[in-house]
Amino acid sequence: MAQKIYLNGKLVPREEAKISVFDHGLLYGDGVFEGIRAYDGRVFRLSQHLDRLYDSARAIALKIPMSKKEIEQGVIQTLRANNIKSGYVRLVVTRGEGDLGLDPRNCEKPSVFIIADKIELYPEELYKKGLELVTVATKRNIPEAIDPRIKSLNYLNNILAKIEAGLQNMPEAVMLNKDGYVAECTGDNIFIVKDNVLITPPFYVGVLAGITRQTVIELAREKLELLVKEEVFTRFHLYNADECFLTGTAAEVIPVVKIDGRQIAEGKPGKITNRLMKEFRDLTKDEGIKIY
Ligand code: PXG
In whole angstroms, give the CA distance from residue 168 to residue 171: 9
CA angle 228, 283, 207 (to 5 degrees): 45
Residue 107: pLDDT band with limits 50, 70, 90: very high
CA 81 to chain centre: 24
In whole angstroms, give the CA distance from residue 118 to residue 38: 10
Mean pLDDT value across the chain:
97
In whole angstroms, give the CA distance from residue 44 to residue 205: 27
Instruction: Spell out the SS3 assignment of 14-37.
Output: HHHCCCCCCEHHHHHCCEEEEEEE
Note if the pTM is more than 0.85: yes
Q: Would you state the pLDDT for residue 232?
A: 98
Please indicate whether residue 248, judged by its CB atom, sits closer than 6 Å to ligand 1.
yes
Q: Would you state the pLDDT for residue 75?
A: 98
Q: Considering the candidates 85, 118, 129, 151, report the single residue annotated as catalytic.
A: 151
Contacts of 68 (CB under 8 A, 6+ apart): 47, 50, 51, 54
CA angle 213, 216, 217 (to 5 degrees): 85
Q: Would you state the pLDDT for residue 289?
A: 86
Q: Would you state the pLDDT for residue 43?
A: 98
Atom 2 of ligand 1: nearest residue by CA position: 187
Q: Is 151 part of the annotated catalytic residue set?
A: yes
Of 253, 147, 141, the closest CA to residue 203 belongs to: 147
Atom 7 of ligand 1: nearest residue by CA position: 188
Answer yes or no: is pLDDT of 1 > 80: no
249 C-alpha vs ligand 1 centroid, how far in Å? 6
Contacts of 10 (CB under 8 A, 6+ apart): none
Q: Would you state the pLDDT for residue 120?
A: 85
248 C-alpha vs ligand 1 centroid, how far in Å? 6
In whole angstroms, give the CA distance from residue 71 to residue 77: 10
Answer yes or no: is pLDDT of 246 > 90: yes
Question: Taking a C-beta distance cutoff of 8 angstroms, is the pair 86, 128 a contact?
Answer: no
Answer yes or no: is pLDDT of 288 > 90: no
**Which residue among 39, 147, 188, 283 has the greatest number of ligand 1 atoms within 8 angstroms of its CB, and so is best to mutate?**
188
**Which residue among 48, 139, 208 has the greatest number of ligand 1 atoms within 8 angstroms of its CB, and so is best to mutate?**
208
Contacts of 280 (CB under 8 A, 6+ apart): 212, 215, 216, 219, 252, 253
CA angle 150, 154, 159 (to 5 degrees): 110
Q: Residues 192-241: pLDDT tens digits?
A: 999 999 999 999 999 999 999 999 999 999 999 999 999 999 999 999 99
Answer yes or no: is pLDDT of 128 > 80: yes
Answer yes or no: is pLDDT of 97 > 90: yes
Residue 122: pLDDT band with limits 50, 70, 90: confident
284: part of which helix (H) or strand (E)?
Answer: helix 271-286
